[in-house]
Amino acid sequence: MQFDGLTLEIRRMMARGFAVMLGLCLMLGAWPSLPAWADPALVAAPVPAVAPAAVQGGSFVATAVTQVGPAVVRIDTERTVTRNPDPMFNDPGFRRFFGEGSQQAPYEERMRGQGSGFIFNADGTILTNAHVVDHADRVTVTLKDGRRFEGEVRGVDEVTDLAVVKISSSDRFPIAPLGNSDQIQVGDWAIAVGNPLGLDNTVTLGIISTLNRSSAAVGIPDKRVDFIQTDAAINPGNSGGPLLNGMGEVIGINTAIRANAMGIGFAIPINKAKEISAQLVRGERVTHPFIGVQVATLTPEVARQNNEDPNSTAILPEVNGALVMGVVPNSPAASGGLRRGDVITQIDRQAVTAADQLQSLMERSQVGQSLQVTIRRGDRTQQLSVQAAEMQGNS
């Protein structure tokens, strides 16, 4: 009996030992092999992670800004403005009550402004907006690297809102490459660079949303520019800075002109600047012919709607043309016999079907040129001769 009990106990111990050995074998089989002691031929090489394109390299925007950024400048201006006192202080009744010492004389005030620009010639020649530097007594130009220079305004053209400023140094300056604004299309990328609201070196991205937006349609009839319209943010302080394409070329000069615009910005095509920049560098006056009419586009549909309105004050001819909304007093148009309500249909036998087309035809004419203007007045067609004069900034 003792032997049988001993044998039973030995069997139990052997079973427990076998179970322990089996567990160890299973555990070792499942344990991960480490390269330090595993067979190198049995260790799989790790699969490298694929980085996103944005991590592997910079975007086209970063490339464009890196190329052009050093040539973009901040322009600070100062000018003295003479202010007249409130007329109340010079009123005799006011002086009798408060004494003769209360009368005030005109006083001077220093006005400061800020805008942007870009260097387009290595000698330090800068393009910007006319309204940024016009009438400035002092112009200070600050480069991206922190260098500051006194700027000289070489030329200003209020009609196109373009100006040239020159800075001088023995060093050669970085330049912004100029593109071709005639080759851009709606939907192309647009990158605005400048110093909006005093925030230096700011970049915004959008697309070209419209081409050839006339200055009259934008609400500034005293200018003569067909703007590039973009949804890239352009704010005060951006004025004069470059609008770039996706390759980092300047295709326009940013202009902040509509305070109520939401998500809409405008830029002067760089090809317009190319046309007159040499004259501005030389300090020459840029002439723009005009005849002195305010016009709106007329179509047969618009005329028909007007004529069917019982409250309409005039019957319009149902044709395509430029409807004369007003005639500037003492202008060539007034001297030539144009009247409000006339419809201009041709200039020198070239058809006029829209207001902006008339503006383009005028820009291609010459100061002093005699223009043959075909109009519809009521139900009659007439020919008038109008001599183009030089357009001033506020004509």
| pLDDT tens track for 112-169 | 889 999 999 999 999 999 999 988 999 999 999 999 999 999 999 998 999 999 999 8
| pLDDT at site 44 | 38
| pLDDT at site 39 | 35
pLDDT along the chain (395 residues), means of 10: 47 53 45 36 37 55 92 92 66 60 66 92 95 92 93 93 94 94 95 86 92 78 84 88 95 80 86 94 90 91 92 90 92 93 93 87 88 93 93 58
Q: How many CB atoms lie within 10 A of CB 31?
A: 8
- Of the residues 239, 277, 288, 342, only one is catalytic, namely 239
| pLDDT at site 91 | 62
Buried-exposed string 197-224: b where 16+ CB fall within 10 A, e elsewhere: eeeeebbbbbebbebebbbbbbebeebb
Full set of structural domains in the chain with CATH = 69-166 (2.40.10.10), 181-281 (2.40.10.10), 289-390 (2.30.42.10)
Sign of the torsion angle spanned by Cα atoms 153, 157, 163, 166:
negative
pTM of the model: 0.71
Decide if 135 is catalytic.
Answer: no
Residue type for 313, please?
T
| pLDDT at site 198 | 74
- Of the residues 76, 131, 157, 277, only one is catalytic, namely 131
Strand boundaries in the chain, DSSP class E: 72-83, 107-121, 125-129, 138-142, 148-157, 162-166, 189-194, 202-214, 226-230, 242-244, 250-255, 265-269, 289-290, 293-298, 321-327, 343-347, 350-351, 370-377, 380-387, 389-390
| pLDDT at site 200 | 80
DSSP 8-state class, residue 48: P
Decide if 231 is catalytic.
Answer: no
Rg of the chain, C-alpha, whole Å: 37
- Of the residues 76, 157, 161, 226, only one is catalytic, namely 161
Decide if 161 is catalytic.
Answer: yes
Q: Which of helix, strand or coil describes residue 301?
A: helix
| pLDDT at site 209 | 93
